[in-house]
Amino acid sequence: MFSYTYFEEFKMLGVCDAEILGKTLHGETDVVVSESFYGKDKCDENDIEALLEKSTNINCIGNRIVELLIKMGIVNENDVAVIDGVKHAQIYKV
């Protein structure tokens, strides 16, 4: 299960693994996986493709969601950051 928020006005998707919602990841820069950005709605793997199609900016954090996007060919594994053991990627469609 994933948590996400879709910001219609920006065509931006924030999506995370549901189990890390509300946690703070510590690294060179601390990242708060906040409910206000990542957690307004729930979805599963079947819902992700439709959300991705309408998004021009995607911010994803969590090992499962990033691995799914790698498998789908949307994220290049070499472009993935790891913060406190958790994968993070940002995608911009131009």
pLDDT attached to residue 26: 97
User: What number of CA atoms fall less than 13 Å from residue 47's CA on the CB side?
Assistant: 12
Q: Of 79, 59, 82, nearest to 70 (Cα)?
A: 79
Residue 94 has pLDDT above 80, yes or no: no
Give, in words, the CATH class of 2-92.
alpha beta
pLDDT attached to residue 40: 87
Average pLDDT over residues 8-18: 97
Q: What would the pLDDT profile of 35-64 be if each residue is shown by its tens digit?
A: 999 998 999 999 999 999 999 999 999 999
Looking at this protein, which amino acid is placed at residue 92?
Y
Q: What would the pLDDT profile of 67-86 be if each residue is shown by its tens digit?
A: 999 999 999 999 999 999 99
